Amino acid sequence: MTEFSASQVVYTNKLEQVYGLYVELIDGSAESVTYRIVKEFEVGGGAYAVLQNETAGADDDVQILKIETSPEGEVQLATIDDDDEWENVAELFDELTFPEEM
């Protein structure tokens, strides 16, 4: 069970305002990879982005990253290092994407 609920989510568009619908990231092999911004939201004091590889199919996995703002005001993406935080945000994304039928 996640610490967050869908009712706490505030949708944002920080990344989209800066980068458009796509962001380019460097992978572990130092290759540039383009990702589509699927969702951006704030919850529990954190801001998060859900990204999907531009070449991925609809059922392929997504990347969930934290949106941070540098001291200079630059919007950046960061890996979520805390396992509990990542699990909570991933479960929340599932809840937002596949809500249970009432």
Which H helix or E strand runs over 51?
A: strand 46-53
pLDDT at 71 over 70: yes
Kindly tell me if the per-residue pLDDT of 55 is higher than 80: no
pTM of the model: 0.85
| The pLDDT of residue 98 | 76
- List all residues 6 or more positions away from 68 whose beta carbon is below 8 Å from its beta carbon: 47, 75, 76, 77, 78
